[in-house]
Structure 1
Amino acid sequence: MSLPLEICVFNTATAIAAAEAGADRIELCENYANGGTTPSYGYLKTTREKISIPVFPMIRPRGGDYFHRPEEIEIIAKDIALCKELGFEGVVFGLLNRDGSIDKENTARLVELAYPLDVTFHRAFDRCKDPLASLETIIACGCTRILTSGQHPKAPDGKELIRQLVEQADDRIIIMPGSGINSRNLKEMIDYTGAKEFHTSARVLRPSTTEYMNPLIPEDFSQDFTDETEIATLKKILSQ
C-alpha cells in the first residue's frame, strides 16, 4: 500500500498534470511568491470540474502574517462555505494569535463550519511559539492533519521535531512533512520521522509560450509547473 502524496499547485494546468502523474491529493493555491493564498472562484470551479482526485484549496485571504482580524475570519468562513458548495474534499488554513499561540477559538469554529471536510492546519504551524503544546491545541480543535517543515525552512532540516510530533500525535492527527521534500531525501524522511503522508510541489519553471515581449519592459514570464517524472519517482518510493 502506497503512502499518500499531496502535490501543491498554483494553477489549474499544473493540477491536471499532477493528477495525471499520480498525485493522491492536490493542495490548490494561488500566489507562490506570497506563500499561497485563496484561489479565485473561477480557478476553484474549473479545477473541481477537471480533477477527480481529492483537492484541498488553501484558504488564506492575504499574504503576510497568520494573525487574522475579525473581517478576515469572516472571509475565511465564506470561502470555506464556498468550497463545501463546490464539492471539495478538504480545506487548508492556519490561524495564530499575535503571541505565536494557536488561535484556538476561531480554528475550532472554522473546523466545525468545514465539517465534514478534512481540515489541514498549514505551515502557520511552523511560525507558532510552542510546537508541542500547539499540536495538542490543534488536535483539540478537530483538524485532520498538520503540514509542517519542523519549524525550519525545509523539512529535512526539521526532521527531529517532525519525528517528535509524529510520536506525540500517536495517530490522533496526521503529521505531514512538506517543503524541500524530493526523491533524493524522501526515503530518509519516511524512515526517520515515521510520517505516513508527504507534501511537495515537485516545482519546475516552464518558459512562457508567448511569441512577443516588449523589449522596453524586460520580464520573466516563466510559469510554475510540476515535474511529472519527479512525481512518478516519489510515488514509487512511497509504494515500497
Structure 2
Amino acid sequence: MTAVEICIDDVAGATIAEECGADRVEVCAALSEGGTTPSLGLVSTILAEVSRIGVQVLIRPRAGDFVYSPAEVDVMLADIAAVRALPASAQVGFVVGALTAEGGIDTAVLSRLVTAAGRCPVTFHRAFDTLPDLPAALPTLVSAGVSRVLTSGGAPTAAEGADVLRSLVRLAGDRITVLAGGSVRAANVAALVAGTGVPEVHLRAVAPVAPSAAGSATGVDYSVPRLATSAEPIRAVLEALAS
C-alpha cells in the first residue's frame, strides 16, 4: 500500500490528516516561502493531539537557499534536540537538507544533522531536486544515514519527473525510500505510482479559508488570503490509490 504524507502548518491539519487515514504529516511553518522550522509549541501540541500517524518536522532555519552558516547549523541542531526532548507517542522524524556553495550535498552538515536526530528517521527534502545528477547523488544520502528522500525527480512536478523517479526507485532498492512530491493530486497519483513504483507520496492538501474576523475598523488591515488543510483532497488521493 502506498504511504501518504501530508504537508501541514497547524494542529487542525494534523488531526484532519489523521482522521482521513494519511500515514504521516510533515510539520512546517511559512509554507508560502517553501517552509521553515515550525515553532516548538506547534510541534508539541501536534504530538499531544495525534496518536496513529508519524510526525516529520521540517528543520530549515530560514527561507532562501540551502547553504547554511555555522550559526544557522547550530540553530538546526538545537531545534532537533528540542523536538527530540518532547514527549511523543507517534514516531517523530526530521526533514532536512544542506548544500554547498558549489551546489552539491553538504555532507559535513548533513552528517551532523543525522547524528543529532539519533534513531529518528531523517528525510532529505527537495533541495535534492536542485542537484545536477540525482541518481549519482542518491548514494551520498544512503551513506549519510538518510532514510528517505523527498523529490519530484528534478522536475517542476512529480508527474513531469516520472522517468527520473523510476530510475531513483530502482537505484534505491531497500536502502532508502523515495517519497514523490510536487503537485501530487488525486487525478495523477495512481498513474504516478504505477508508472514509477514510488512507495510513498507527499502532498499539500488545502482549500482557501474565509477570514473569521470582521474587517478592520481603521485603515490598518493585516488580513491576507489563507490556505488550510482540507479533508477532501486527502480522501480523494487515498481513494485514487485504493481503486
Question: Fold-level match, TM-score > 0.5?
Answer: yes
Asked if the contact 1:96–1:102 (Cα under 8 Å) also holds between the matched residues in 2, the reply is: yes
TM-score calculated relative to the size of structure 1: 0.94
Alpha-carbon distance, 1:215 to partner: 6.3
Distance in 2 between residues matched to 1:164 and 1:215, nearest whole Å? 57
Other-structure match for 1:98: 101
Other-structure match for 2:80: 80
Distance in 2 between residues matched to 1:99 and 1:109, nearest whole Å? 19
Structure 1 SS opposite 2:68 = coil
Distance in 1 between residues matched to 2:42 and 2:3, nearest whole Å? 24
Other-structure match for 2:5: 6
Other-structure match for 1:145: 148
Deviates more, 1:137-146 or 1:229-238: 229-238
What does 1:1-240 correspond to in 2, within 5 Å? 2-52=1-51, 53-86=53-86, 87=88, 89-214=92-217, 216-217=219-220, 220-240=223-243
Structure 2 SS opposite 1:172 = coil
Distance in 2 between residues matched to 1:214 and 1:131, nearest whole Å? 53
Q: Deviations over 1:139-198 (max 9, x none)?
A: 110100000111122111111111111111122100011110000000110111100000
1:214–1:139 CA distance, 2 compared to 1 (3 A): farther
Aligned residues: 239
Q: Which runs of 5+ in 1 are unaligned?
A: none
Alpha-carbon distance, 1:230 to partner: 1.7
Q: Deviations over 1:27-57 (max 9, x none)?
A: 0000012100000121111111111221111
The residue identity in structure 2 corresponding to 1:148 is T
Distance in 2 between residues matched to 1:169 and 1:45, nearest whole Å? 33
Q: Which runs of 5+ in 2 are unaligned?
A: none
Asked if the contact 2:9–2:29 (Cα under 8 Å) also holds between the matched residues in 1, the reply is: yes
Deviates more, 1:175-184 or 1:218-227: 218-227
Alpha-carbon distance, 1:235 to partner: 1.4
Q: Deviations over 1:192-228 (max 9, x none)?
A: 1100000001122211111233463466533221221
